[in-house]
Amino acid sequence: MTETPQHAFHGGASFDAIGSDFGDLARRSTIVDADVLDAWYEPAPAVLATLREHLPWLVKTSPPTHGDGLRAAIAARHGLSPGHVILGGGTSALMYLAFPRLVRRDDTVAVLDPMYSEYRHLFEHVLGARVVGCELEEARGFRPDPAAIAAKVAASGASLLVLVNPNSPTGSCLDGAGLRALLAAVPAGVRVWIDETYVDFVPEVPTAEALVAGDRRVIVAKSMSKFFALSGLRIGYLCADPALVAALEPWNPPWSAGLLAQCAAMRALQNYAWYRERAAETRVLRAELAAAIGAVPGLVPFPGVANFVLFATERLPAGELVARCRAHGVYLRDCGSLSPRFGARYVRTAVKDRAGNARIAAALAAASA
């Protein structure tokens, strides 16, 4: 009998080289940690300046209990009330807060396939729900098809649809019109959870946060880890109908977001224009990295819009390719754990700065030789 996994598999294997005891953090400069999707840039200068100036106080002081100031700032950006917003220690913490109160054992939940694997793990192995995959077709570049997704949801009897937009690990995206078409086609009683961890990298795609005010089914999960370069601080939020937020409030522990995280997130929002410039740079770097990967025989990159590149490996199994790259200090993600449909054919890499991308390309070329 197959043992139920306690946790979903994630990236972060680079800590095998750095050391999870943090004894010698200088080791981080010797590797390229592209198996996780952390930002290649530092947080905005104003964020770092505030943290540096007040660091001893920020470290030793208890934060606002429920982050009311940050919640108000988040709500104001898209015409919501603070009652539409709840904070947590990143989207994973918010998933584990919300889904046990939305999904019962044996309920049916629809997810995109492939997609960020924490969702399937939580539904299947923690909550005991039935998971139905809305398969994204490789021939379409894994682009979501609103009509096909809605039809699968309706046929399955799912009470909840979960999508990551832009999707990870594929990098494909529904634009505003596509998302509205999906919401119009999904049965009226189905909640729709939209994980927008990467949407800010795509300025032409509007966030779904504003839709929450007019559609009680919509729940938007936002991580501030990737785009805002705050992964180490663990900060995220949900935008949802105030009745749902009120139902979640008693289960969200006090101080669920630390003071460093709340302060950094506030400064990051105030410096959004600076981050938009980094998004434009990321788009250029991504195109350069995808071209370099495509120049390696046997590697086929897929189109995408976020801070990572998915590519097929046609000569070596993904696991072997990833292992060979680690010998060069480059850590990439074997995507086999993200969907059984991937098998041993797909690898994902984060976009890094030009020096990091050059090391990724060189490692792939050497590993494929």
Q: What digits encode the pLDDT tens for the residues 264-308?
A: 999 999 999 999 999 999 999 999 999 999 999 999 999 999 999
Return the pLDDT at 341: 86
Q: Is residue 3 part of a domain?
A: no
Hey, how many other C-beta atoms are within 10 angstroms of the C-beta on 355? 10
Is residue 113 within 8 A of residue 134, CB to CB? The reply is yes
Name the DSSP class of 336: G
Give me the residue label for tokens 């009998």: 1
Per-residue pLDDT tens over the stretch 69-85 = 999 999 999 999 999 99
Tokens coding 176? 């505003």
For residue 222, give the nearest of 241, 237, 234 by alpha carbon: 237
Full residue range of the structural domain in which residue 319 is found: 15-43+273-368
Q: What is the mean pLDDT of residues 244-258?
A: 96
For residues 253, 255, 261 and 264, what is the CA-based torsion angle, rounded to 10 degrees?
120
User: Are residue 121 and residue 206 in the same domain, yes or no?
Assistant: yes
CATH number (domain holding residue 125): 3.40.640.10
Tokens coding 138? 């490789």
Per-residue pLDDT tens over the stretch 32-71 = 999 999 999 999 999 999 999 999 999 999 999 999 999 9
User: Are residue 184 and residue 295 in the same domain, yes or no?
Assistant: no
Is residue 186 within 8 A of residue 192, CB to CB? The reply is yes
User: Are residue 152 and residue 52 in the same domain, yes or no?
Assistant: yes
Q: How is 42-98 classified by DSSP, letter by letter?
A: PPPHHHHHHHHHHHHHHHHSPPPTT-HHHHHHHHHHTT--GGGEEEESSHHHHHHHH
CA separation, residue 369 to residues 114, 289, 321, 339, 362 (Å): 29, 18, 11, 28, 11
User: Are residue 135 and residue 277 in the same domain, yes or no?
Assistant: no
CA separation, residue 54 to residues 44, 61, 259, 264 (Å): 16, 11, 11, 11
Work out the pLDDT band at 9, boundaries 50, 70, 90: low
User: Are residue 96 and residue 195 in the same domain, yes or no?
Assistant: yes
How many domains are contained in the chain? 2
Q: Is residue 196 part of a domain?
A: yes
Return the pLDDT at 337: 85
Q: Which of 271, 306, 335 is the last residue of a domain?
A: 271
Q: Is residue 8 part of a domain?
A: no
Q: Is the pLDDT of residue 216 over 60?
A: yes
User: Are residue 175 and residue 314 in the same domain, yes or no?
Assistant: no
- Determine whether 25 is exposed, middle or buried from the number of CB atoms within 10 Å of its CB (0-12, 13-18, 19+): exposed
Work out the pLDDT band at 122, boundaries 50, 70, 90: very high
Q: Is the pLDDT of residue 175 over 50?
A: yes
Return the pLDDT at 10: 66
Q: Is residue 7 part of a domain?
A: no
User: Are residue 189 and residue 51 in the same domain, yes or no?
Assistant: yes
Q: Which of 240, 271, 302 is the last residue of a domain?
A: 271
Q: Is the pLDDT of residue 183 over 70?
A: yes
Q: Is the pLDDT of residue 3 over 70?
A: no
The pLDDT mean for the chain works out to 95
How open is the CA angle 125-100-167, to the nearest 5 degrees?
70
Tokens coding 219? 């729940």
Helix (H, G, I), strand (E, B) or coil at 232: helix
Amino acid making up residue 79: G
Work out the pLDDT band at 6, boundaries 50, 70, 90: low
User: Are residue 139 and residue 70 in the same domain, yes or no?
Assistant: yes
User: Are residue 225 and residue 286 in the same domain, yes or no?
Assistant: no
User: Are residue 307 and residue 240 in the same domain, yes or no?
Assistant: no
User: Are residue 132 and residue 267 in the same domain, yes or no?
Assistant: yes
Q: Which of 254, 271, 288 is the last residue of a domain?
A: 271
User: Are residue 126 and residue 230 in the same domain, yes or no?
Assistant: yes
Q: Is residue 67 part of a domain?
A: yes
CATH number (domain holding residue 333): 3.90.1150.10
